[in-house]
Amino acid sequence: MLEDVRTYVNRLIALYEGEKKRADDTVALLAASREEVESCKKQIAELNRQIDNQRLTSAFSAEGGNPEAKRRLTKLIAEIDKCIELLEA
């Protein structure tokens, strides 16, 4: 009877240790996943910034000869000139 109790206790301890190791592994995996998510978020933000810069560069580029871009640029310059005149007055 006492030997059976020892056997069950030893088995219970072994099961506990196995589950504890599994839980520790899961915590480590979760931490690694969170770091990867943060890294991906930073990379996405950087890529979005690069896309915005590229769009601005394309919009204001004289090389393309884009009439819409030229019209918007002319309008923007006129608005800036108007603001400067108002500030000087």
Each residue's pLDDT, cut to its tens digit, for the chain (89 residues) gives 888 899 999 999 999 999 999 999 999 999 999 999 999 999 999 999 999 888 777 776 655 566 777 787 788 889 998 888 888 87
Q: Which DSSP helix (H) or strand (E) runs through 6?
A: helix 2-60
- pLDDT of the residue at 19: 97
Beta strands in 1-89 (DSSP E): none
The dihedral formed by the CA atoms of 9, 14, 15 and 16, expressed in degrees to the nearest 10: 90
Amino acid, single-letter form, for residue 52: D
How is residue 47 written in tokens? 């890529």
Q: What is the DSSP letter of 81?
A: H
How is residue 6 written in tokens? 């020892």
| pTM of the full structure | 0.54
